[in-house]
Structure 1
Amino acid sequence: MALLGVKKRKICVVTTSRADYGLLYWLMKEIEGDPDLALSVIATGMHLAAAFGMTADVIEKDGFRIDKRIEMLLSSDSESGIVKSMGVAMISFADALKEIGPDIVVLLGDRFEIVPIALAAVVFRIPLAHIHGGETSQGAIDEVFRHSVTKMASIHFAATETYRKRILQMGEDPDVTFNFGAPGLDALYRLPLLDRNELESALRFKLEGIVAIVTYHPVTIEQGTAREQIDNLLAAIEASGIKAVFTKANADTGGSIINARVEEFCRANPHRFKLFDSLGQLKYLSCLKNLDLMLGNSSSGLIEAPSFGLPVVNIGKRQRGRMRAANVIDADTSTESIGEGIGRALSHDFRAGLETMGNPYDRFRDGKTSLRIKEKLKTIELSEDLIRKEFRDLA
C-alpha cells in the first residue's frame, strides 16, 4: 500500500506494434497493479495504422489508458519514408516526454520506431529500460537499431544469459543488466488459450487437415528481394497442399509488397488461406498451440514456438544469429528449400524429437518474468550515476 503523500514512481511503457504489445502486456499489468507505481502508456507506430488493424483500440479494450497516441508512420514504407517517420517521432516524443514526465521509459526490441524515442529520453535525462537487448538478427537493419538502443539504455533486461553477456561485452554495467528470460512467455502460464475448435470459431476459418501459421517480414538488409521471396514462399505453400493462416508483415521497407501479394493469394483461395491484419495475443498464441507448423521469419518462431514444441521453418537471413531450439529448421528463400523444410517439419521423426525439448528463453518456467522486471523498475536507485553511464571494460 502506497504511503499518503509519497510520489509514485512513474513508468512509461512505449508500444509500437501488435508484436511488442503482446510481449509487454503482462509487464504493463504488473506495473498497473502495484500501488507504488504509476503506469503511463504511449501507443505509436503500427498501432495507429488502419492497414495493421488499428491495434491501439485493442490496448484500450484490454483496460489500459493510453496517455498519448503519437502518429509517426507516413504512407510510404520506402527508405526515405521510414527516415521521415523517425523524424516525426523525435519531434512528437519531445512534447510527450515533457508533458508526462516519467521516471523511467521502457522500450522493447529492435525496430526503427524506438530509436528516436530513445534519443529523446536521453536528452531529457530519463533512464531507459531496454528489454530483449543483446540479440542478433543479421538479416535486418534492426540489428543496428537494437545495439544503438542498448548503448542509450541505463537498465537492461536480456532474455538469455548469452544475450546478457553480449550486453556486458558492449561495456554495460553488470549491476543493472539482468537475465530473467523473455517476458512474452508469461502469457503461456497466465492466459487460458483456446483449443482447436474454439480457435476455429474465433478465426472463422476451418482448421481441417494440416494448417500452418505464416508470417514473412522483409529482409531489410537486402534491397529489392521482397517480391521474389514472398512469391517463392507462396509457391511452396501452394505445392505442399497445406492450409495456412497468415498475419501481415511489419511496416518495414518492402512490407507493403509482401502484404499486397499475400492478400491477393488468400483472396484467390479463401477456403484454404486467410490473412489477418492482427490476430491479437490470445488468438496468435492459440495458433502456436493448435496449428501444425510455422513458416516465415518471425522471431516468435524462435522465442515462443519452442514452448509448444511447434516445428518452425525459418526462412532466409532475417533471424540469422539468434539462439534457437531444436524445433527450428533453417531454409533458404528458394521454393525448393522451403518445400523441403515443410516436409521435414511434418515428418514423424522430426516431431517426435521435440517432445522433451526445452525453451532457452524461458529461464524460470514460472510465468513471473514480468513480475521480476517490474520489481527491478520499482526498486532500482534513480540517481545521476544511472544516467551518467560508464563504459565497463571486460576483465
Structure 2
Amino acid sequence: MRKIAVFTGTRAEYGLLYWIIKSLNESVNVDLQLFVGGMHMSPEFGYTIEQIEADGFPIVERMEFLLSSDSPVGISKSMGLALINAAEAIERQKPDLIVLLGDRFESMAIAQAAMIACVPVAHIHGGETTEGLIDEAVRHSITKMSHLHFAATEQYKRRIIQLGEKTERVFNFGAPGIDSIVKLKLIELDELPSAINFELNKPYIMVTYHPVTLESDGASSSLINLLNVLDEYPDHQLIITYPNADTNGRKLIKILDEYKTLNQSRVLLVQSLGQLRYLSLMKYCEVVIGNSSSGLIETPSFKVPTVNIGNRQKGRIGGDTVLNCDESVDLIRGALEKALSKKFKLFCQSTINPYGQGDSSTRIVEQLINYPLNKIINKKFNDLEDI
C-alpha cells in the first residue's frame, strides 16, 4: 500500500481537499496519513479539527505550531515551529508521498521538511498569481519543492512548466473546490436559518475579507471602506466570515467584531461556516464581496456575482461573473451597484466557470495512487527551449 500523507492547516483548505481525502481514505491501495495543524487547532478560528473528526477521517498527526500572534515575527516563529513539527511527523510516519494545497506559509514549512527528508510532494493549485500577498512567493517556492503538480487552469499549467517543471508531471484537472458544489446535497434556502442559527428575512450579501500581507496595515483601511459601503444597503443582511490567520489578521477581526456589535440583527459574523453551510449560503446570496479566492473559483459555478476588492487576488484568473475594483469607497460602491443590478445578474446566468466542472478530485487521486514514484525525487530543471 502507498502511504500518502495529506496536510491541512485551514478551514478553507480542508474544504477543497475533502473529496481527495475521502477517496484516499476509501482506497484499498492507500494508507492515508492525515496531518492536521495551524488554524484547525485554534479555538480563536473555530477549532475546526472537530469537523475533521466528525467526518470520520483518521488523524495521525496533530500539529501545534500557530502562535497567538499575527505580527511578522509571530508568523515567522509559527513557520519555524511548523517546520519542526513537520520534520518530526515525517520521521514518525515515513510517507511515500505528501499532498499539499495552495500557498499558505504552513504548507511551505511542510514542503521544506519533505524536501530534506527526500519525500516527494504533490502540489495542488500551483502556478497561480496573487500579487498582493507573500503567498505569491510561497506558492512558487512550493512548486519548486514539489514533484507532481495539479493546476486548476491551462494557463496555470503553462506557468508551472515555465518554472522548469517536467511537462509530464504537470496536470490541469481544474479546481477541486468545484467538486463539492457538484457532489454535496446543499442546504435549501428555507432550511438555512436553522442551519446557521440566524434569521434570514432579507436578501443577503456574503463577505470574506482577508489581510493583504504586502500592505503595512493588512488593508484594515480597505475593510473599513467596504463596511462603510455596505452600510448603504440596510435592506441587505450580511454573512461575514473571519479572515485567515495571516499577518495583521487580528486587526481585521477587531474591526469586524466591533461592526457586528453595532449591527446585531443585520450581521452574522462567524469563525467558520464549514464547507456545506458556506457553499449553501453562497448559492442563494445576492453577491459575494471581499478578497477571498472562493469568490473567483467557487462562486462562478453558482452564476452569482463577485466583487473582488484590491490586490490580494490580483493576477488570479477570474471568470465573467467577477468584478474587480480598487479599495476606495467610490470604486467599491460602483462595483457593488453593478453586481446587484438586474442586467449583470442576468448576464451571469450565461457564463462558464473557468476552473472546471467538478471532476478534479477523482482525476487527482488516480495520479496520486498510480504515478510511479521511483526516481521522482531527482528533478531536472527544464529550460523552455527544451520543452
Normalised-by-shorter TM-score class: over 0.9
Gaps of 5+ in 2: none
What's the offset of the Cα at 1:210?
A: 2.3
Matches within 5 A, 1:9-158: 9-158=2-151
In the other structure, the counterpart of 1:292 is: 286
- Equivalent residue of 1:307, what SS? helix
Q: 1:225 to 1:123 in 2, by over 3 A?
A: closer
Are 2:351 and 1:361 aligned?
no
Q: Deviations over 1:340-360 (max 9, x none)?
A: 111111101111111111010
Are 2:339 and 1:345 aligned?
yes
Which of the numbers 176, 180, 195 marks the counterpart of 1:187?
A: 180
In the other structure, the counterpart of 2:368 is: 377
In the other structure, the counterpart of 2:240 is: 246
What's the offset of the Cα at 1:238?
A: 0.9
Is the CA contact (8 Å cut-off) linking 1:24 and 1:183 kept in structure 2?
yes
What's the offset of the Cα at 1:243?
A: 1.4
In the other structure, the counterpart of 1:176 is: 169
In the other structure, the counterpart of 2:266 is: 272
Between the aligned partners of 1:264 and 1:61, the Cα distance in structure 2 is 32
AA partner of residue 239 (structure 1): E
What's the offset of the Cα at 1:207?
A: 2.1
What's the offset of the Cα at 1:102?
A: 0.5
AA partner of residue 361 (structure 2): S
Matches within 5 A, 1:250-261: 250-261=244-255
What's the offset of the Cα at 1:225?
A: 4.8
Q: Deviations over 1:169-216 (max 9, x none)?
A: 000001111011011111111100011111122112222222111000
Between the aligned partners of 2:305 and 2:188, the Cα distance in structure 1 is 18
Between the aligned partners of 2:219 and 2:160, the Cα distance in structure 1 is 31
Which of the numbers 376, 384, 387 marks the counterpart of 1:394?
A: 384
In the other structure, the counterpart of 1:3 is: none
Between the aligned partners of 1:117 and 1:391, the Cα distance in structure 2 is 22
Q: Deviations over 1:119-141 (max 9, x none)?
A: 00001100000000000010111
AA partner of residue 296 (structure 2): L
- Equivalent residue of 2:348, what SS? coil
Q: Deviations over 1:228-260 (max 9, x none)?
A: 111111111112222100000001111101011
Q: 1:13 to 1:225 in 2, by over 3 A?
A: closer
Between the aligned partners of 1:358 and 1:216, the Cα distance in structure 2 is 25
AA partner of residue 374 (structure 1): V
Q: 1:225 to 1:129 in 2, by over 3 A?
A: closer
What's the offset of the Cα at 1:381?
A: 0.8
AA partner of residue 303 (structure 2): G
Which of the numbers 203, 223, 227 marks the counterpart of 1:234?
A: 227
Deviant stretches of 4+, over 3 Å: none
What's the offset of the Cα at 1:368?
A: 2.6
Is the CA contact (8 Å cut-off) linking 2:129 and 2:136 kept in structure 1?
yes
What's the offset of the Cα at 1:72?
A: 0.9
AA partner of residue 344 (structure 2): F
Q: Deviations over 1:73-123 (max 9, x none)?
A: 111100000000000111111110000110000000001111111000001
In the other structure, the counterpart of 1:320 is: 314
AA partner of residue 368 (structure 1): D
AA partner of residue 33 (structure 2): S
In the other structure, the counterpart of 1:5 is: none
In the other structure, the counterpart of 1:4 is: none
Is the CA contact (8 Å cut-off) linking 1:240 and 1:339 kept in structure 2?
no
Between the aligned partners of 2:5 and 2:42, the Cα distance in structure 1 is 22
Is the CA contact (8 Å cut-off) linking 1:93 and 1:117 kept in structure 2?
yes
- Equivalent residue of 2:344, what SS? helix
Is the CA contact (8 Å cut-off) linking 2:218 and 2:247 kept in structure 1?
no
- Equivalent residue of 2:168, what SS? helix
- Alignment size in residue pairs: 384
AA partner of residue 58 (structure 2): R
Between the aligned partners of 2:218 and 2:41, the Cα distance in structure 1 is 27
Could you state the TM-score of these two structures normalised by the residue count of structure 2? 0.98
